[in-house]
Amino acid sequence: MTARAKSSANDSTPLVAPAAKRTAARRIGIHPGAQAGGYGALLQALPYPAALLHRQSDRIDILAENHEFGQFFDEMQGNRHQVERRASRQHDWRERAEAMFQSRRPSDRFEIEFQGQLGTRVYSCSLTWVEGSDGDESLLLLAATDRTSERKAESTLRKELLTDSLTSLPNRIGFVEQIEGLLDELDGDQKKANYAVIALDLVRFSRINESLGAMAGDELIITVARRVKSVLRAGDILARIGGNEFAIFAHVGHGLSEVLQIAERVRKAFESPIRLSSYLISVEVAVGCALAQEADGDAENLLRQAQAAVKRAKRSGALEVYRAHVLREALKRFTLENRLREAIEAGALELAFQPLINLEDGSVKGFEALCRWNDPVLGPVSPTEFIPVAEESGLIVPLGRWALCECTQTMANWDRQHGEQLPITMNVNLSPVQMVRDNVPRAVEEALRYSGIDGKRLTIELTESALISDPDKTRQLLGALQAMDVTVAMDDFGTGFSNLASLQALPIDVLKIDRSFVKDMIGNTDKIALIRAIISLAGALGMKTTAEGIEEKAMAEELRQLGCHYGQGYFFAKPLAPTDAFNYWFKRSQETRI
C-alpha cells in the first residue's frame, strides 16, 4: 500500500489526498507512490502543517503530510505567483529543501509569506532530517508554524512607534524611514539628488501653550498639521518631528525655486488666524530647508541640516537654506556646551581680575572679575564664544553663581593675606539670562554670607539691554540688591536705547562708558562730545562713571579732564591671576601713598 493509502489502526483519517490535491501534487512533483515508513500517524498528531520530503532524481517528493499541511499547501499553491514574486525576499520552501539535500546541513529555518484569502499570511518554516526506511537520514521533515497574528501585532506596534499619536503623521523615526524607503525604490536614472527636506517651526508656540493650556496647544498642533497638509502636493510627505516642529519631504526637480514655491504656499496657509475656543491665534511659521547634495544622501543628516536652517530662520524671519558652515557651527556649539558643562562641574574655570583705577589719584578702586576657560581639549576658549553658549543652554546660571562665590571668596582671601580689609571693591557681571532664570538676590546674599564680605564692596554689572527689557522686574531686583548695600553699574552704556525716564527711576550707581566711545577718542571731537554728554548725564543723576578700553596715557588724561571718575584698560593692566592682582594692588597702593 502506498503512503497516501496507508492509515493507522487507531486513526480513521485517511492519508490519501483528495483528487484536487493530487492533481496539484503532480504539477509540482509530488510522488504519491513513495514509502513514508511509519511517520504518517505521527504527522497527523502534529497541530501544525507538517510533511515528509524525499528527493528522487531532480525532484522533491512529498511522501506524507497531515491535514493542516494540505490546507496550507492548497492556500499557498493557489497564490503561487505571489510567492514567486517575493522569492528574492521570502524563499520558496522547495528551493530550501533542495539546498538541504545537496548541502546536508543539520537544519534550516526560514519564513514564507504569501497572499491568502484573508490577507497576507506568514509562516515560520523549519527543515530537519529524519530516518528513512533504510535507516539513514534521507528524509526531511518540513514543519510550518503560522506566525500571521504575531506579524500583524508587530506591524501594528511598529506603526504606533513610527506615528505621532496626536496628528497621525509620521514621527521623526517614521519620517526618516519613509524617505529611505522611497529612495531605495528609485531606479538608477531616477535616483538623482532632486529632493529636499523643509523644516517648519511654530514661533512662540510655548507662549500659547503656557497661556491657554496643553489642550489648546494640542488643538493648535492638529490644526496646523491639517493646514500644511492641505497645501502639499501628491507625493510630498509631512511629519511631526517634535513638539512644535514639522518637516516636509519633497521631490524638487527645479531645485530651490520649487522649494520657495512650497514655502510660499505654507506661509499663505497661515494668513488667516486660527480659532481656538474664543481666541483668534495668528500663527507664524519659521521655514528652513536643506537640498540633497548627492543621490545616496543620509536622510537623517538632511533632516538635521534642515533643522539647523530653521533655527536661523527663527532669528531672521525669512526662509533659510542650509549652508555647510551652519551645521559645523551647530556641532561646535554642541561640543562647547558639553565641554563647558564638564568644566563647571569639575571646577575647571578660573577668574582673572582687571584693575579699576581712580583717574584722579591713580589708586586702585577695585577689580572686575572676568571668567577664563582653558580647556585641555579645545585650548583657550574666549568668553565671546562660551558665554553665548552658556546663556543659550542655561549653563549661565551655575556659571554665574560660581563667579559670584569665587570673586567674593578671592577678596576674602586677600583680606586675610593682608591682615586687614582691603579698601577695594569687586565687580562681577550678571547675564540677562540669569536675571530671568535665577533668584539673583538669594545668590548674591549667599555669596556674601559664605565669604563674609560686606555688600558695599560688591558691584553687580548689568547690561543696558537687560535693565530696560522689563523695568518692573528690574526695579524689584535692583531694590533687593540696594537693600544689601550692593552697588549697581550699567555696563556698555550708550550702545542700547535707554529710556531716560526709566534710567532716572532705577537705582543705578555707576554708568560704564562703552569702549567703542573710548577707542580712537583722541582728536575725535564727536566722540569726545558724546563722552562729555554721558558724564554730564551721570552727574545730573547722581551717578559715577567708569570708562572701558583705555589703552594709552592720553586717553586716561583726557577722560580725567572730562570728569570721568574711574577707568580700566590695557594701559593700566590686562586681566590678572588672583596672586598677580593682589600684588598689583599692593604695589600701586605703595606708589600712590608716596
**Hey, what domains does the chain have and what are their CATH numbers?**
19-153 (3.30.450.20), 170-322 (3.30.70.270), 343-593 (3.20.20.450)
- Model confidence at 128, in pLDDT bands (50, 70, 90)? very high
Quick count: other Cβ atoms within 10 Å of Cβ 31? 19
* 37-79 pLDDT per residue, tens: 567 778 888 899 999 988 877 788 888 888 888 888 887 776 5
- Tell me the CA end-to-end span of the chain in Å, nearest whole number: 130
566 near 359, Cβ under 8 Å? Answer: yes
Nearest Cα neighbor of 249 from 191, 287, 284, 291 is: 291
* 369-408 pLDDT per residue, tens: 999 999 998 899 999 999 999 988 889 999 999 999 999 9
Q: What residues have CB less than 8 Å from 502, skipping those under 6 apart? A: 467, 468, 471
Q: Which three cell numbers stand for residue 454?
A: 560686606
The percent of residues above 70 in pLDDT, for the chain, comes to 84
> Which of 46-55, 104-113, 115-124, 483-492 is the least confident region?
115-124
Mean pLDDT of 95-113: 89
Convert 251-265 to b/e letters by CB count within 10 Å (16 or more is b).
Answer: ebeeeeebbbebbee
- Model confidence at 23, in pLDDT bands (50, 70, 90)? very low
7 near 40, Cβ under 8 Å? Answer: yes
Q: How far apart are CA 542 and CA 503, in angstroms?
A: 12
Which pLDDT does position 29 carry in this prediction?
A: 36
Q: What residues have CB less than 8 Å from 485, skipping those under 6 apart? A: 454, 455, 456
∠ CA 564-569-570, nearest 5°, is 145
**Residue 451, SS3?**
helix
Q: Can you list the positions of beta strands (E) in 11-166?
A: 50-56, 59-65, 107-116, 119-130, 139-146
* 75-93 pLDDT per residue, tens: 777 655 444 434 333 447 8
Number of helical (H) and strand (E) elements in the chain, helices listed first: 23, 21
- Model confidence at 498, in pLDDT bands (50, 70, 90)? low
Q: Is the pTM of this model over 0.85?
A: no
Q: How far apart are CA 275 and CA 281, in angstroms?
A: 6
Q: How far apart are CA 551 and CA 518, in angstroms?
A: 9
pLDDT over 70 at 297, yes or no? no
Nearest Cα neighbor of 580 from 383, 410, 401 is: 410
Which pLDDT does position 258 carry in this prediction?
A: 86
**What is the Cα Rg of the chain in Å?**
40
Q: How far apart are CA 168 and CA 212, in angstroms?
A: 23
Instruction: Say if residue 237 is exposed, middle or buried (CB neighbours under 10 Å; 0-12, 13-18, 19+).
Output: middle
Q: How far apart are CA 421 and CA 416, in angstroms?
A: 8
Mean pLDDT of 320-341: 80
